[in-house]
Structure 1
């Protein structure tokens, strides 16, 4: 295939133009690179390279102004704003930046389209006055300030542009306006210079003026790239601007080069509807693999990403056989891992001097910080995190962090956690020093960290720019403003890829495809809201005022993308159009109108398919751990130390959990409790009651004794909360409520005791929090097996010995009842409470601490009104008769089931098999 650029060069050569003496002007720098590459094909001899400029570079030459970055432009504009606006009426830089960006865009549009400034600004002011408050006799101060702002727009513009021109600086629109002003001088001084404009479509008024003036003075030639299908159809937006340009006076007497007929030639167009972005990326990989069968190098093949967020998924989906690759888009700095570190730091310091533990952990765990805190093999970041978890530190400051570590880490920790509010200069200096520290670490193993070093260099440049802007303009007054400026610079910078710009597969955005032609084109995300981007009016200028002044609206912006889309199709032979079939919150799931238009044109046959990814059915398998000889040997010392009731019920619930916790010794990580956890509440209540009742062992309780304990509730509960909850705060929020609940639980329990005693009940405390360990008689095993546990309370109640287990959760009577003994080992949810109290009964009886018959049960603090919930054996599910006394027969029956359970645990033929456990409290 021949490209548009090749056709232009061939035409110039055929007309005996000296290519070396021409100045080529194109829509983009990238197109210039392709033009330079095509020159050696056209010319068979050595020549001097012609001057090749983008349109932006050309107008800079005309205007003699240098383009200023958007961020610095904002700082310059704030200077002007401060000069004109009274101090008491000024916005902060942060507030100013939110509306100033929009106003600067409007300044840019007004200048690019050469609109008389005073006229449009006066019109805007009059609209606001008329629309809102012109009829109000007594305007409020707010209204007066609002109207004053609109009245000052022209003054802002004049002083701002005057200041920029005085510094030989300008934004794009101002450069265009000044270029038009300087055009006459340029023509007089360069009358023999010949300019070639090629590949343009949508031109602003300044560009039209410049090109037409050069054409009229025989200093220029222009080549258009469009097709008869588009120009002959008055409703086709792909030629909306070209049809307007054909009406230029110059073309009444000169040919309009060119309107081609490439679009009508046969093409293979396939449209694929694919769910989700990842699906599109994966399908592109498949398409490229097929294309490689006939074109291994993928020469003349381009992937055009309408949504540039697809870049990384696409790169990860490319076939490994691709050798030459060029990416023109650049990788956004905001997507680089180092950006997450500084975003976390800004978030941390914007809140307060007291740092939230999750924010601190996020920074300390960052891939670029963790190595800096690994000093002499001592992982200080892990040490800080462990201390945070162990001491339940929900909020902490720099001083507390420094306490945990040694002096060697203090420099890095100062850089991370010093108070940024003290000084913006200090904040920027800390960030810059942090980057240097990261760089120094990475350079220790340079070959391995080449890419990361590139990251750090770009962020070094970014913070250098922030330091320069802050020192030169001094507008940044707080962290929030600095964060906004940082994000603005970050969003406008990217990390450029190195590739083969003229060879192999080309990956680009839609705008990078201007003037370029490819034989094979893959276009992604052809959805409404992406291509075209849809209606958006980020401007102070109303729609009707834009129409009156011939400023572009969403209609023109859509037409620009229509041209780019159809231009990609114009000379291509194989076209693959992909769109997302899934509904999206922002962009919807609708395919683009461009696809519908292609189908309705009827020029080409469209192969439309809906592609669904193959989703394999993954069979879920429950974990099975085989009981090897080694594993069985691990069970023996565990049995010798003693099984606890909770570990045995854990086995009943899920054997695999028992294996992890008791054999492998894997414990759950103790996270920081922001809100007091249920087990912490239970521990506090248990420990408080232990403190109260331990001194009363062997004594009969009296109402007077219990009443005295009530005065100690506040002090004792507070002590145990501080002991268990460490440095967590119990003085506000949910934690304060839980603290009060703990006191209420203890108080209500004591009230229940007093009520029973005053009613004539006799209670004697036998034991509180008693440790028990007994040897079980299991002849089938050739090693000792013990049962161990701690009983919360043993007392004699009206002559009956009771074993009591405290539960802060809710327990009902039916949870301590059984019908069939064999059910104890099968249903955790129903019988775990019964299993535990029977274990305690067995231990107490066998150790001869108490004698049968006895009662055993639970006191539930959430169900205190039910009193002591006694274990009972029912004859059948339908028989209401219950036996609450635990006798020798009860102990023997339970011992039999306990023996079966332990034999199962120790049986080499019964593996640890995972159970499908429902989510439940246990």
Structure 2
């Protein structure tokens, strides 16, 4: 394949062009590297390298003006705005920046297309006056309407003063540079008559570019080479040839001179594949499969380009490149907002926008766990990040102070101060702290530069951003608070990227659609060819209405679509193998249905097109329930647990799911206890249990009286508060949900004590026998040759009118049906239905075996969410349909329970029975 650039070089050689005296002008810098390479291959003798410029660089040299960054333009424009607008109507910088960037872009378009500014601004102002007469029925205009119309009238003044200010500093936006270049063109030509200019591969040109190129052509100082195919050029409705048809028709130069070139390459044989894939990642994974096939041929991979319609897919693509492809050339940059360091600054801005001196624990943990901070805190064997996180967790701290963090950080105190010292809503302090942080991190990564080149590059780019912010704010002082600084920071990193460096002529080429200009490849892979992406479709990011743009010759979405149509078809002209991928699952965020480009290709019927849909191979995953063999270590651990004692909760845990018992009891893996922002249910339960223990423990062996209960009620507030502080540590219970839960705890206890008073009022006698009693009894199991103990703490044992009761408190809701048994075999099988019955019977069994109670007795639950039901007694029913039930626990009851209990323990201890996961 002979590329377009190569054809141009060959043609110029045939015309004996002196390349050393020639300036090549291309649509982009990227193409310049390819031109140099091709020129070197076609030059047999040593020559001075020609000057190679992008069109922007060439126009800038004509204008003698330096291009300003978007941020510089924004600051300069606000300075003009402050001088022009009355004080009472001035908007703050952050709200100004949102609409002013659109206005600057409109200025840019007006200048690039050489529109008379006063004419268009007067036209816009008149339109707004007419519109106002339609939507305002009031004879007298309101102040807001007056301000609205004044804004449109002032745009002309803003434009004039803005341009004058920029020109006085020899700076400008692109449109201003183009307008000045046109103004300087005559003088430039007069002083550069010996120059020779070659324009290569242009398509859509603004009026300023057209004027400059036409003038150079008319003066005989330039040649221009178009890259257009007859298929598109000769078709009057094909958008790929829209601009070249206009240029040939409208430029006086082409009335006498040839139009170079109209080729006929698109009709050549091509292997075109249209591939639909669900979602973006599927497209990228399929690109990886294509590359696996291509990389076998080294020459083929050297002549392959991946063109990303959606440039946000760069990172997934880089992670999917096959191992055999070692050389990559990435033309596009990696957006700074995708770099890990950006997340760190985003969190810091979020923290310091708040005026609170206390730091939210999640923000603190996010910062100290960040990949750029944790290695520094944990440097040389220290574990300060873990120490801080553990302290916060163990003390249940929701809001931590800077002083606490500094004490915990030890020698890393300086880093903590940089990260968490208040910015005092002062942009200067914020920028200074961010710069300090960058240098602090750099000092760490500098120690091993060879291993940390990429992080150092990240730091360098962000250092430049904060330096720019500092310089601009020092000059203009427009940033008044952290919120404004944050908004501006986000705008900057949205438009900035980290450029990759590599050998531009070697290996696989990865680029965006615009970077493909003038370049040709034998194999082309284009992704995300969906409506809304390729082409981008309609957008209204302008103050100039559509009809006004048409009236004044400004580009609309129609022209922008035509630009992408040209680039798309130009990629196909010389390519032999073409893979066009699109997303089959369109949505609002990731583009619409497959692109009109694909439909157009299919309708044209100029090539054989292979259509197919790809999808990831999804194998059916059948749920495999874990089965853990009881090896010697597990058996030994079970015997240790048996000797220490099986608790009711551990046994019911086994009944619920044996695999959980294995993880928690055999391996000792416990659930992670995160900071409780809101009081957890288990914490609430502990507080209620502890409060009732404080009230009733001193009364062991005594009968309750109404006066005693009333005394308890008077102490509810203080006792509950004490236990909240003890259990909830430094958590705040003075507001929000926690305050509600604190009140609920008091309410539960108050209601419980009222229930006791009501019972005593009815002349019932209640005697406290034991409170929070620890039990540890041995159970004889003949099948086991080692000692087995049972252990557990009983909340309360009392006598109610002479009948012994074993009571278990539950803060959650429990109904009577949950403490009734029909078939004894089910008590160790169905956790949901019988776990409560199992617990109270085990407490009764242990208390009886330890001779702390005698039979018969009652055992049951008091549910604080179901207090109206009172004491929920365990009962044995003959069937689920009968109302007859036995509520007294006798030797027969405990004997039946003991039989099932022993079976359960034997199963746990049996080395032949695995721990088998239950399907929950």
Specify the TM-score bucket, using the shorter chain as the normaliser: over 0.9
Conservation of the 8 A alpha-carbon contact between 1:3 and 1:571 = yes
Aligned mates of 1:444, 1:293 — CA distance in 2: 40
Provide the secondary structure at the position in 2 that maps to 1:182: helix
2:425 and 2:482 in contact (8 A); partners too: no
> For residues 842-894 of structure 1, what are the alpha-carbon distances to aligned partners after superposition, in whole Å with 9 as ceiling and x for unaligned?
11111111111000000111111111100011122333211100111111211
Corresponding residue SS for 2:479 = coil
Aligned to 1:99: 99
Structure 2 residue 254 is the aligned partner of structure 1 residue 264: no
Q: Which residue number corresponds to residue 920 of structure 1?
A: none
- The 1:129–1:356 alpha-carbon spacing in structure 2 relative to 1, beyond 3 Å, is farther
Tell me the CA shift for residue 210 of structure 1: 0.7
Matches within 5 A, 1:65-464: 65-132=65-132, 136-247=138-249, 248-295=251-298, 298-353=301-356, 354-374=358-378, 377-406=381-410, 408-464=411-467
Which secondary structure state, in structure 2, belongs to the residue aligned with residue 523 of structure 1?
Answer: strand
Are the structure 2 counterparts of residues 429 and 13 from structure 1 closer, same or farther at C-alpha, using a change threshold of 3 Å? Answer: same
Distance 2:584 2:602 in 1: 17
2: distance between equivalents of 1:499 and 1:589? Answer: 34
Is the Cα–Cα contact under 8 Å of residues 297 and 505 in structure 1 kept in the other structure?
no
What whole-Å deviation, never above 9, does each CA across 1:486-519 have from its counterpart, x for those lacking one?
A: 2222222222223221122111100000011111
SS at match of 1:43: coil
One of 711, 733, 746 as aligned partner of 1:743? 746
Q: Which moved more, 1:538-547 or 1:43-52?
A: 43-52
User: How far has the Cα of 1:132 moved from its partner?
Assistant: 2.3
1:734-761 deviation digits (Å, cap 9, x = unpaired): 2222222111111111111111111111
After superposing the two structures, state which structure 1 stretch, 351-360 or 476-485, moved more.
351-360
Q: Is residue 502 from structure 1 mapped to residue 505 from structure 2 by the alignment?
A: yes
Distance change >3 Å, CA 135–CA 907, structure 1 → 2:
closer
Q: Residues 355 and 425 of structure 2 are in contact (CA less than 8 Å); yes or no, is this contact kept in structure 1? A: no
Find the aligned partners of 2:380 and 2:117 in 1 and give their Cα distance: 66
Cross-structure match for 2:564: 561
Determine helix, strand or coil for the equivalent of 2:424.
helix
> How big is each residue's C-alpha offset from its partner over 1:788-845, in whole Å with a ceiling of 9 and x where there is no partner?
1111111100110000001111101111011121211111111100110011101111
Superposition deviation, residue 689 in structure 1 = 1.2
Q: Is the 8 A contact 1:297 1:324 kept in 2?
A: no
Distance 2:382 2:44 in 1: 68
Deviates more, 1:224-233 or 1:123-132: 123-132
Say which is worse superposed, 60-69 or 445-454, in terms of deviation.
445-454
Picking from 661, 664, 674, the partner of 1:661 is 664
Mapped partners of 2:147, 2:407: distance in 1: 52
CA displacement, residues 698-742 of structure 1 (integer Å, 9 cap, x when unaligned): 111112221222221222222222221222222222222222211
Residue 54 of structure 1 deviates from its aligned partner by 0.7
1:469 corresponds to which of 472, 476, 479:
472
**Pairwise CA distance, 1:477:** 1.2
Deviations 1:579-629 (A, max 9, x none): 011122224441000000001111111111111221122333212221111
CA-CA distance at 1:48 after TM superposition: 1.2
Matched, 1:702 2:705: yes
> Cα offset for 1:123?
1.6
Structure 1 residues 634-653: aligned runs within 5 Å: 634-653=637-656
Structure 2 residues not aligned, in runs of 5+: none
Q: Could you tell me which residue of structure 1 aligns to residue 602 of structure 2?
A: 599
Matches within 5 A, 1:602-613: 602-613=605-616
Instruction: Give the whole-Å Cα distance in 2 for the aligned partners of 1:788 and 1:183.
Output: 97
Q: What's the secondary structure of 2:235's corresponding residue?
A: coil
Cα shift readout 1:767-792 (whole Å, capped 9, x = no counterpart): 11111111111232222211111111
CA root-mean-square deviation = 1.5
Contact 2:352 2:425 in 1 (8 A): no
Greater alpha carbon shift after TM alignment, 851-860 vs 710-719? 710-719
Inter-CA distance 586–374: structure 2 relative to 1 (3 Å threshold): closer
Residues 199 and 296 of structure 1, relative CA distance in 2, 3 Å threshold: closer
* Alignment coverage as a number of residue pairs: 916
Q: Which of residues 698, 715, 740 is equivalent to 1:712?
A: 715
Residue 910 (structure 1) shift: 0.9
Farther off after superposition, 432-441 or 50-59: 432-441
1:688: how far off? 1.3
Deviations 1:259-298 (A, max 9, x none): 1111111111111001111111111122222223445551
Separation in structure 2 between the aligned mates of residue 351 and residue 890 of structure 1, nearest angstrom: 63
Please give the secondary structure, in 2, of the residue aligned with 1:630. Answer: helix
Q: Is this contact kept in 1: 2:806–2:859, CA < 8 A?
A: yes
In structure 1, how many angstroms separate the alpha carbons of the residues matched to 2:300 and 2:253? 44
Superposed, which structure 2 residues align to 1:513-528 within 5 Å? 513-528=516-531
Structure 1: segments with no counterpart, 5+ residues:
918-922
Aligned position for 1:46? 46
Distance 1:378 1:668 in 2: 25
- Structure 1 counterpart SS, 2:8: helix
Instruction: Note if contact 1:297-1:322 (Cα within 8 Å) is conserved in structure 2.
Output: no
Distance 2:887 2:316 in 1: 67
Write the mapping of 1:508-907 to structure 2, written as runs, cut at 5 A.
Answer: 508-907=511-910
> 3-state SS of the aligned residue for 2:866?
helix
Q: Deviations over 1:234-276 (max 9, x none)?
A: 1100011111101211111111111111111111111100111
Q: Report which stretch shifted further, 503-512 or 551-560.
A: 503-512
What is the CA distance between 1:411 and its match in structure 2? 0.8
Cα deviation for residue 461 of structure 1 reads: 2.0
Shift of 1:634: 1.4
Instruction: Supply the distance in 1 between the matched residues of 2:843 and 2:448 (Cα, whole angstroms).
Output: 60
- 2:319 is paired with a residue of what secondary structure? helix
**Whole-angstrom distance in 1 between the partners of 2:266 and 2:590:** 29
Tell me, yes or no, if the aligned pair for 1:581 and 1:589 is still in contact at 8 Å. Answer: no
Q: Per-residue deviation at 1:119?
A: 1.2
